[in-house]
Chains A and B, each alone.
Chain A
């Protein structure tokens, strides 16, 4: 999970112009208004959305369909079977039932932390950059300091000091959010700086709009794709962070997440007993959900950085040209009139 943040710093600035250009070439009208904020449907986006929807449904509906995850049976550590699709734990608990409940727990904390962290980063990134001068200096110093202090060790130390009985879901969520907002704040600051100096923002300031209105109505819509992408990153980071914390036994007390499942699997010697059905599914769900979110983020990246989109369109055009060329060559071998016909149909 290195480099969760994209290292390139694209700007939203010149996207409209380039979009118009590319769509003019492809012969379709420019997508208007808010539609430009939505990503184009690509196979990767479809796979990503599919993964997210499937896992979310599993976490939301799954717990109602499976049995009691805590019920203990006299059949410890049996492999997958018709009755228990993912086998049982050491104490005979149904792994599938645990997985459904744990997925719900992890998604819950992911969304809570994602929202908190995005709100924090929006405040420090956008508000600081909008006010400029001293406020910006102080805010960005604060952001950079938080960025270089390693997050997880800090979280571990904080969780270590909080007694287990007062370590609830919200405590963990707040701690994770406080240690993870800095990266997005820096990205948002860079974007806000580029938007804030546009003429239309100056115009709205001159016409007497209040600062909060300028930020929310004039600047925020331009930053939506960036914020969405940062939110997605925040959710991945939160789910991973919580899983790590729970895995070492420092998660929220009496919560059930994918991390706690792995904690029990590790402490139940699932590894040395070869109970792969116990420790592989929880990690796989985290990995697949994270992949789904990253794939969606690729599509959001294309909105933020049109160069990436142009690359894809360029490739598409190149493939179409190659196909046309092949068809033409085939038609030419078959004779004159067919060639023009296939050319027409290809259009």
Chain B
């Protein structure tokens, strides 16, 4: 039980660190975000009341009338109420609403692509590691090429080949703009067609890491004594591969899922930009170029929250799959 408590405690600390970073960044860096933000707000036809100014100052700093720790406490209180401020670029929509609209796109795209990449990569890696020394081993350096390719460049390349030259997929966007979003077959089909290229980019760019990690663990696992025992007992190679070798070799990959998720989210932020995908990443970059600081911070918090949450789930599951981790701590 203490393992689970430790993990939850760790993620609570990580969450607090992320919140504090979010509080500190605009206050430590040069520039005066509040003034820029309010100027934008007025351009958009928003009225700047003293309350609005105070709310933004709480979020972004610049208000020196109160001591820092009071600002900090108020900032945390505001977050707890779910108040992330008003977005300037989508005025007058509040930040939380903008995030709510774009969240499903990214979660589905990145989630599905990561799961596909992980399953394929781990499966292939197990197979390559199972028969070391065959021609399959020469695939390994090829995957490093894929892993070293910048996400967004791969996206450009795929768009050029599959969308522009061959015309199989639409160039950009998240769905056919003539349709209204909703849960009907036509819209979902359109979303799948538009999401295929971004998903393919993420799968291709991230599969190499899974493959390599699994293959290396397979090689180590195969030299373990219990594999020899299993062979000596006369078990069929398929059973050894599935129930003995793969099961043990996959553990670090499961643990590594957490770290790789951070990478995938990072990569997909830029990939979304290439495809003008209506997800979190595109919104984040839009917020940056419009100096929409409130939206920017809200998005960063949400991305961090999502990654931390996924990590927590994986870590808790890991404790269930591998009893040794529980015993050690």
Contacts and interface: CB of A to CB of B under 8 A. Distances in A.
Say whether A associates with B.
Answer: yes
Interface of A: 1-10, 44, 47, 141, 144-145, 147-154, 156-163, 166, 183, 236, 240, 243-244, 247-250, 262, 266, 271-272, 274, 276, 279-280, 282-283, 286-291, 293-295, 298, 305, 307-308, 311, 314-315, 318
Contacts of B210: 2-3
Please classify the interface of chain B as helix (H, G, I), strand (E, B), loop, or mixed, using the class held by over half of its residues: helix
Contact of B300 (A6, A145, A157, A293): A157
A145 B22 CA distance: 14
Contacts of A151: 262, 266
B148 to A, nearest CB: 2
A291 B285 contact: no
Interface stretch (B23-31, B95-103, B238-246): B23-31
A152 B269 contact: yes
B76 interface: no
Contacts of A307: 219-220, 223
B39 interface: no
23 contacts: A3-B263, A4-B209, A7-B216, A8-B220, A147-B262, A149-B262, A150-B262, A153-B266, A157-B25, A157-B300, A160-B288, A161-B25, A162-B29, A243-B150, A266-B156, A271-B159, A272-B171, A290-B145, A294-B148, A295-B141, A298-B144, A311-B132, A315-B133
B24 to A, nearest CB: 11
A163 B293 CA distance: 12
Given A8-B217, A152-B269, A283-B149, A2 B289 contact: no
Given A248-B270, A250-B288, A1 B216 contact: no
A2 B150 contact: no
Contacts of B86: none
A310 to B, nearest CB: 9
Given A7-B213, A148-B311, A2 B264 contact: yes
Contacts of A266: 156, 274
B164 A274 contact: yes
A6 B208 CA distance: 12
Contacts of A5: 256, 259
A234 B310 CA distance: 25
Given A1-B206, A3-B259, A145-B17, A286 B219 contact: no
Contacts of A166: 30
Interface string B289-308: 10101001101100110011
A32 to B, nearest CB: 27
A286 B132 contact: no
Contacts of A283: 149-150, 153-154, 156-157
B21 A149 contact: yes
Contact of A293 (B148, B153, B264, B293): B148
A6 B156 contact: no
Contacts of A244: 150-152, 266-267, 270
A161 B26 contact: yes
